[in-house]
Structure 1
Amino acid sequence: MRGSNGILSSSKQAHFRQWLLKDMALLIASIQLPTEKFQVECGLGIITRFLILQRKGGDLPVPKDYSIFMAVADKIGFDSRGRRLFRSII
């Protein structure tokens, strides 16, 4: 699937997002990794996000209003050529 965030932003996937977040799960967190993560290994500059979801159902109450953690990681330990950015001092 092509697009800036694939399933997260594609208008063709709106029904999937609505089903997922309305019927199946609560979005707890969204964490975006830098594009360098897959650029070195695969030669791709793709946007990757970790979504942390909590499944609905059972005895768990579903809050009407709750906080969602959102973050963007600026660095992941190496640059787009695979060179280390950080060194351990231990």
Structure 2
Amino acid sequence: MVDAEGRIVWLGMAAGFLGVAGRIMQHRTELWKRRAFDRVFVAEARETITRPALAAAEGWAADALNLRTRMPHRTWPDSTNWSALVSTRS
């Protein structure tokens, strides 16, 4: 999610029974997020992706965007071996 200036203010997955819309609505319950979030970008994953692969992909995105340095108060999953995890067919 980005703010009105296009800066990334949140990166996370919306896996599980809530889905993307449910997860966004859950975020909207927090005042600071309602004020900060302006747009949402979604990277779709196959429904057959494993939870470890999804977590590794989220970690890779955080690394690629340098969020671990820019947002040290947040944590993301480890991205080790992400490519092998996300390319595995189920």
Do the structures match in fold with TM over 0.5? Answer: no
Larger Cα-atom Rg? 1
Higher strand share: 1
Higher fraction of helix: 2
